[in-house]
């Protein structure tokens, strides 16, 4: 077990270093860092001083190592646009994104699994068909249009929900949360649905097809033949086996929720890291872009890692295969 763990961690670190390499390349070679910080009017002496201070004359591997070292200490440089440290910028905006992503993921998972089970066990009924058809439309709509549509319906026509921002927030230490106020929660509804809808649909369809697959299997037939009541067959035998493959896909989908938050945050002017990233792209704020890539990359690698472990925990067959392979 320890060996598997070590190997997985080594893999994850390797991918992370690769992501860091790309981040570093962007940070170092796109545009001219010195000019961007000092402006075009700076004297040659100022420039040389800056080059020296940033260590831009050192060998590239040394610079890369320093980049990684700094990143490990949450030092991502200074934003070209606002001249703030990027780390502070991210720290002030990350809670907004994480709260949005968390609620969306929760929505996607809970609604996706419930609807998936429902459409699987009531296959052929009208309501299940309706859900499936609607979900097809949901998948083909681009995220930003879903957001616009929701704004039009709930903010413009009905006027019941806010169309932008986070509402009132409360500070808990360094964390600014919108989950504790009524207006914060209300502001969260539309963005969370917009962001979660696509993943919800995917999870629903996946759960449905997996569940139908599992229900066709012999051990379900045998469980029924053993006299287990239908409720037990579904909950104890079908559901768990359905959720194993769903875990991987759902887990990976949750990672892309953070990435797709860029779109939702822009539509709803949600003050998170996604909006920060889009602004950075627009204003060519290279350090912010590079830090964002590092952040999202880390998140993806982390999620992949956790999903792998989860998979090991759930499926004894894989656990054994790995143990044998690893030992």
By CB under 8 A, residue 89 contacts another protein:
no
Residue 104 CB-density burial (10 A; 0-12 exposed, 13-18 middle, 19+ buried): buried
By CB under 8 A, residue 145 contacts another protein:
yes
Angstrom CA distances, 102 to 124, 138, 192, 197, stand at 33, 21, 9, 13
Q: Coil, helix or strand for 172?
A: strand
Among 223, 291, 294, 307, the residue binding another protein under the rule CB under 8 A is 223
Contact mark string toward another protein, 297..316, x via CB under 8 A? x--x---x---------xxx
By CB under 8 A, residue 227 contacts another protein:
yes
Min separation Cβ 169 and another protein, Å: 24
By CB under 8 A, residue 322 contacts another protein:
no
Instruction: Decide whether 102 or 164 has the Cβ nearer to another protein.
Output: 164
Total number of residues that touch another protein (CB under 8 A): 62
Contacts of 195 (CB under 8 A, 6+ apart): 100, 101, 104, 143, 257, 260, 261, 264
By CB under 8 A, residue 167 contacts another protein:
no
C-alpha 246/C-alpha 243 separation (Å) is 5
Among 266, 306, 310, 326, the residue binding another protein under the rule CB under 8 A is 266
Backbone angles phi, psi at 78, to 5 degrees: -115, 135
Among 17, 18, 114, 172, the residue binding another protein under the rule CB under 8 A is 18
C-alpha 162/C-alpha 216 separation (Å) is 46
Instruction: Decide whether 37 or 141 has the Cβ nearer to another protein.
Output: 141
Backbone angles phi, psi at 177, to 5 degrees: -110, 145
Min separation Cβ 239 and another protein, Å: 11
Question: How many helices (H) and strands (E) would you count in the chain?
Answer: 14, 2
Binding site for another protein (CB under 8 A): 15, 18, 26, 30-31, 124, 140-145, 148, 151-152, 155-156, 163, 217-219, 221-229, 232, 236-237, 240-241, 244, 252, 255-256, 259-260, 262-263, 266, 277-278, 280-282, 284, 286, 289, 293, 296-297, 300, 304, 314-317, 320
């Amino acid at each position: 077990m320890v060996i598997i763990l070590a190997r997985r961690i080594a893999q994850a670190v390797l991918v992370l270093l690769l992501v860091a390499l790309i981040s570093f390349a962007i940070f170092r070679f796109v545009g001219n860092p010195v000019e961007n910080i000092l402006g075009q009017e700076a004297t040659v002496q100022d420039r040389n001083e800056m080059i020296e201070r940033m260590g831009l004359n050192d060998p590239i591997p040394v610079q890369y190592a320093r980049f990684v070292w700094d990143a490990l200490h949450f030092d991502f440089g200074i934003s070209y646009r606002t001249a703030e440290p990027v780390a502070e910028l991210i720290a002030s905006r990350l809670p907004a994104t994480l709260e949005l992503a968390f609620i969306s993921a929760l929505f996607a998972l809970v609604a996706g699994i419930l609807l998936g089970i429902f459409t699987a066990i009531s296959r052929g009924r009208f309501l299940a068909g309706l859900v499936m058809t609607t979900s097809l439309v949901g998948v083909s709509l681009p995220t930003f249009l879903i957001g616009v549509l929701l704004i039009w319906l709930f903010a413009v026509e009905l006027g019941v929900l806010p169309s932008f921002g986070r509402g009132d927030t409360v500070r808990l230490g360094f964390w600014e949360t919108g989950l504790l106020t009524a207006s914060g929660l209300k502001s969260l509804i539309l963005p969370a649905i917009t962001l979660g809808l696509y993943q919800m649909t995917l999870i629903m369809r996946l759960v449905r097809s997996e569940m139908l697959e599992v229900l066709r299997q012999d051990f379900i037939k045998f469980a029924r033949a053993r006299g287990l009541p239908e409720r037990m067959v579904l909950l104890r035998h079908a559901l768990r086996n359905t959720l194993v493959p769903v875990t991987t896909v759902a887990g990976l989908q949750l990672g892309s929720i953070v990435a797709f938050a860029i779109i939702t945050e822009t539509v709803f002017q949600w003050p998170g890291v996604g909006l920060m990233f889009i602004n950075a792209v627009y204003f060519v704020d290279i350090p912010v872009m590079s830090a964002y890539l590092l952040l999202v990359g880390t998140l993806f690698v982390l999620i992949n890692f956790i999903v792998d472990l989860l998979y090991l925990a759930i499926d004894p067959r894989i656990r054994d295969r790995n143990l044998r392979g690893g030992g």
